[in-house]
């Protein structure tokens, strides 16, 4: 039994990753909120812990992942005491990730991001670890997957259209509310991307 209720929002498009992601999140005892394209040509049945959403296409110039995440917050009843996270459809959580979060109080948490051992050809993101610490609380040094935020704080905030909107949102939240850093908890960036991780 977890101390907090967790909603994991996934802007979903990479169907090849669906079996792995649903298996990962089933083991975490969370509510999964995948956000699919509204014109999805499939009819899917989900277990009770999955709450799917269906979103129209993003406007021109709006980063699709942020558009889908905003759609979730605009069309879901937000629980003030619940915690909300974004997990992209090629990311991962380390074993025990949510146990580490459950041990920390607060409404605005920042975990660490492990970006793997390699930078695949064509990727703008190097490997290495973005530690959860005050020095990295700035745009391009903190990613949206590192944010764990209460519904109460997130209720009035949305992502902008630009690629680095996650960093801007996190900085804005951190300027208005106390931050609890959880460096020992790691989200695995692009864990399912070929060539990034040694496995």
pLDDT tens, position by position, 93-136: 999 999 999 999 999 999 999 999 999 999 999 999 999 999 99
Residue 42, pLDDT above cutoff 80: no
Domains parsed from the chain with CATH numbers: 6-188 (3.90.550.10)
Q: What is the pLDDT of residues 157-173, one digit of tens each?
A: 999 999 999 999 999 99
pTM over 0.85: yes
Give the model's pLDDT for residue 100: 98
Can you tell me the mean pLDDT for 167-195? 98
164 Cβ neighbours under 8 A, 6+ residues apart: 139, 140
Flag whether pLDDT at 31 surpasses 90: yes
> What distance separates the 2 farthest-apart alpha carbons in the chain?
46
With a CB cutoff of 8 Å and minimum separation 6, the contacts of 101 are 4, 6, 83, 109, 111, 148, 182, 185
């Amino acid at each position: 039994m977890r101390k907090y209720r967790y909603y994991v929002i996934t802007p979903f498009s990479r169907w090849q990753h669906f079996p792995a992601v649903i298996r990962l999140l089933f083991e975490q005892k969370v509510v999964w909120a995948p956000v699919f394209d509204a014109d999805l040509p499939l009819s899917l049945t989900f277990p009770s812990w999955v709450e799917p959403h269906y979103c129209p296409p993003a406007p021109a110039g709006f980063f699709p992942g942020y558009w889908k995440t905003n759609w979730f917050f605009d069309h879901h009843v937000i629980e003030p005491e619940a915690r909300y996270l974004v997990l992209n459809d090629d990311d991962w959580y380390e074993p025990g990730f949510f146990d580490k979060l459950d041990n920390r109080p607060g409404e605005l948490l920042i975990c660490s991001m492990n970006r793997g051992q390699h930078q695949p050809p064509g990727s703008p993101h190097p490997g290495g670890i973005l530690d959860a610490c005050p020095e990295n609380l700035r745009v391009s040094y903190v990613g949206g997957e590192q944010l764990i935020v209460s519904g109460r704080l997130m209720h009035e905030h949305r992502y902008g259209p630009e690629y680095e909107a996650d960093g801007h949102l996190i900085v804005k939240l951190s300027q208005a509310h106390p931050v609890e850093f959880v460096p020992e908890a790691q989200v695995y960036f692009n864990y399912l991307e070929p060539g990034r991780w040694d496995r």
